[in-house]
A and B are shown apart, each in its own frame.
Chain A
Amino acid sequence: MTEALPAFDIVPALPEVFLLLAGMALLVVGAMRDKDASRVVTPLAALALLVAALFVIGADKTADPIFSGHFVFDSFAAFLKVVILAGSAVSIVLAQGYLEDQELDRFEFPLLILFSSLGMCMMVSANSFLALYMALELQSLPLYVLAAFNRDQLRSTEAGLKYFVLGALASGMLLYGCSLVYGFTGTILFDDLGAMLLGTENGTLELGIGALVGLVFIAAGLAFKLSAVPFHMWAPDVYEGAPTPVTAFFAAAPKVAAVGLTLRVLMQPFGPVAGEWQQIIVFIAIASMLLGAFAAIRQTNIKRLLAYSGIGHIGFALVGLAAGTERGIYGVLIYMTIYLVMTLGTFTVVLMMRRQGRYIETIDDLAGLSSTRPLMAAAMAIFMFSLAGIPPLAGFFGKLYVFMAAVEAGLTPLAVLGVLASVVGAYYYLRIVKLMYFDEPAEAFDRQGRLELQAICAVSAVLVLGFILIPGPLLATAQAAAAALMP
């Protein structure tokens, strides 16, 4: 009855295994050390994430799915994992100064980010509906806690609670969708489902209404995690209420992971029935782009503004997915990578907005920044131009690739709408630039003592500026990653 346990092939999952072990080891370290736990754990956690990224880069990307087909490691997963791990590592480093100032520097913070990143890696490697759900929960649970991390502040706990309740609802929808798909197709493995759908008649496919409803639920659950319209309501409140470095983290890596997961689910198992989900994605993309553009105009809080900006950007990225072609996937991957860099850069600037030791977050506080802090203003201007998609900055190319893919796939109206939305969006990005350069200077910000913030800010600005000069490496790897996703 009990045979010897099978030897598991865990080599493709080495980055995850390493992260898990590192996380548990750091947990012990943190619990053992009394006072300075966070000072020890934080750099080690960031280091662990980077080492895991190295594991990813060095690994063989052609392996078969492992763990009975629940886990797959291909170029697509590898690409996203590197982006996610780097983004998370930067988020941890970013946070330390703020946390120390607010006396929130507990060692759980980097650990939660680490475990969340583990969940994200598992998300982009998920190859079955159960693995998808588990990974998504593992990614979300730390996020709920992080949102409420400043537990003595009402806004933070409110953000955490709101995020938790809505997130749990979304997870429920997702799980319901998964169970419907399982019930009507009889498999939870992506490979099996894809083969099954591909096996039916040439192109014209019968998904069955039950599985179709399941697909809609899954799409809705994923849209929530992406904060795409019409499941975006939580984003502005959570972004505003959560501590700023947490917001920076929310806006960066988890979005990339959620996009990656959405791409894999829709392109691989449901790839053969692209016609069924394309309209959903088109609608979500249009709604997100328009809402992101118009709702952001009236915002006065920079974090809320960035929340709406994030919603808009998800809309743009989904344009590439709506195309459903390899070019589209390629565009989405490039878009999300560039988005991650721009967002993290912008948040370093937000984290530097400090007056007399207090962190401030209204847009008006940026007035006249060019005369008091010229370098900071220049970096912010670069990020804003890039977010608006103005050539020759990186943000422009991200949009270019997704719109091109959409046009090639015959979705010209969608691309036109996207361009219009980005024109409207440019208004509020440029308003910030105008505030910084042409308005009366407000009181100067505190001189920034933290080297890592300045370094991250500078590096992101250089990356955004320099993308046009050396786009090669990113484009080549994204190309390979996109190819891996196509059947």
Chain B
Amino acid sequence: MTPHLLLFYLFATVAVAAAVMVVSARNPVHSVLFLILTFFNAAALFILIGAEFLAMVLVVVYVGAVAVLFMFVVMMLNVNFVRMRQGFLQYLPVGGLIGVILLVELILVAGTWVVADTPEAIEPRPTTAGLTNTEALGNVFYTEYFYLFQAAGVILLVAIIGAIALTLRDRGNIRRQDIGEQVHRDRASAVQLRKVKSRAGI
């Protein structure tokens, strides 16, 4: 188990350190890059507990899509985060107070935590009997959680409608390519043969 444990601590430490860097990096682009690093380490942790499907999906969705969008936005907007941070200190007392309250709550919650005495509870348990991750997930997705799965789909549909409703503008002065029209052009409409008289032009 030693290398396994070693890997766990490696990934976990890097994940936490990178997460800290996400909020403390001065350059927003660096923040996004650290965020990606965090995602990667989280994916690695998933693999360590035998959840390979989740790991891959985490990378595809978060790193491959979400973080790319972040990156786009951050690069295009060129936000000056240093200026945004000014006045940070004046919120410190309130923020600190809330933080302390949350910490106390967390301690109270953790106080009631009962650690399972069977060590197998924390062993990586990839899937039930001989099924791969993907099959196991698919089996519950389309049966037990069918309703929620569909609901999630509807939410995404609404998100698309909303995004289009808020941003799509019909710009009248734009010249669009009409491929049908281009293809339908024939010789008769495109070429004209004329006798040009010498020194007269058309």
Partners in one complex: yes
Which among B109, B131, B135, B162 is the interface contact of A209 at CB below 8 angstroms?
A: B109
**Across the A-B interface, how many residue pairs have beta carbons closer than 8 Å?**
85
In the bound complex, residues from chain B placing their C-beta under 8 Å from that of A141 are: 155, 158-159, 162
Inter-chain contact A111/B146, CB cutoff 8 Å: no
A interface bracket (residues with beta carbon within 8 Å of B): 35 or more
Q: CB of A118 within 8 A of chain B? A: yes
Q: Which of A85-93, A144-152, A310-318, A426-434 contacts B (4 or more CB under 8 A)?
A: A144-152
> Would you call the interface of chain B mostly helix, strand, loop, or mixed?
helix
A1 contacts B by Cβ under 8 Å: yes
Q: Name the A residues within 8 Å of B146 (CB-CB).
A: 8, 67-68
How distant is B112 from chain A, measured CB to nearest CB, in Å?
Answer: 5
In angstroms, how far is the closest chain A Cβ from the Cβ of B181? 18
Task: Determine chain A's interface SS by DSSP, over half rule.
Answer: helix
Q: A134-B151, A209-B108, A209-B112 are in contact. Are A108 and B161 (CB under 8 A)?
A: yes
**CA distance in complex: A160, B166 (Å):** 10
A2 to B194, CA, bound (A): 72
CB closest chain-B residue, reference A67: B147
Q: Does B147 lie within 8 Å of A148, measured CB to CB? A: no
With A67-B146, A67-B147, A213-B105 already in contact, the answer to whether A138 and B164 are too (CB < 8 A) is: no
The reply to whether A134 and B155 contact each other, CB–CB distance below 8 Å, is yes
Q: Which residue of A lies closest to B143 (CB)?
A: A6
A130 to B155, CA, bound (A): 14
In the docked arrangement, what's the CA distance between A8 and B113, Å? 38
User: Nearest CB to that of B105 among chain A residues?
Assistant: A213
Q: Please determine whether A209 and B143 come into contact, CB atoms closer than 8 angstroms.
A: no
Q: Which of A27, A142, A149 has the most CB of B within 10 A?
A: A142
Contact B154 A118 (CB under 8 A): yes
Residue from B109, B146, B162 with most neighbouring chain A CB atoms (10 Å)? B162
A138 & B155 in contact (Cβ 8 Å cutoff): yes
Q: Is A115 a contact of B143 with CB atoms below 8 Å?
A: no
Closest chain-A Cβ to B118's Cβ sits at a distance in Å of 16
**Which chain B residue shows the least CB distance to A122?**
B151
Q: 1/0 per position for B142-185, CB-CB distance to A under 8 A?
A: 11111110011011011101101111000000000000000000
- Kindly state the separation between the CA atoms of A279 and B111 in the bound complex, as whole angstroms: 24
In A98-129, the 8 Å CB interface with B consists of 106, 108-109, 111-112, 115, 118, 122
CB B96 to nearest CB in A, in angstroms, measures: 19
Shortest distance between the CB of B4 and any CB in chain A (Å): 25
Assess the B144–A148 pair: CB atoms within 8 A: no
Cα distance, A202 to B7, chains bound together (Å): 49
- Cα distance A364–B142 when bound, in Å? 58
Known: A20-B154, A68-B147, A131-B147. A210 touches B161 (CB 8 A): no
- Cα separation A108 to B158 with both chains bound (whole Å): 10
Select one of B135, B151, B154, B165 contacting A108, CB under 8 A.
Answer: B165
- Select B162's contact among A27, A112, A210, A213, beta carbons within 8 Å: A112
Report the separation of the CA atoms of residues A210 and B142 in the bound assembly, to the nearest whole angstrom. Answer: 31
* The one of B109, B148, B164 that contacts A213, using a Cβ cutoff of 8 Å: B109
In the complex the two chains form, is B155's CB within 8 Å of A151's CB? Answer: no
Decide if A71 is an interface residue (CB 8 Å cutoff).
Answer: yes
Q: Is the CB of B154 within 8 A of A138?
A: yes
Contact B165 A149 (CB under 8 A): yes
CA distance in complex: A257, B178 (Å): 47
Cβ A111 vs Cβ B161 within 8 A = yes
List 8 tightest A-B contacts by C-beta distance, closest first: A67-B147, A145-B162, A108-B165, A134-B151, A68-B144, A210-B109, A115-B158, A70-B147
Given contacts A5-B142, A213-B109, 12 further A-B contacts (CB under 8 A): A6-B143, A24-B157, A67-B147, A70-B148, A108-B164, A112-B158, A134-B148, A138-B151, A145-B161, A145-B166, A180-B109, A213-B105
- Which residues from chain B sit less than 8 Å from chain A, CB to CB? 105, 108-109, 111-113, 131, 135, 142-148, 151-152, 154-155, 157-159, 161-162, 164-167
Can you list 12 A-B contacts with CB-CB less than 8 angstroms, sorted by A residue number? Answer: A5-B143, A108-B161, A108-B164, A112-B158, A130-B148, A138-B151, A141-B162, A142-B161, A151-B166, A180-B109, A208-B112, A209-B108
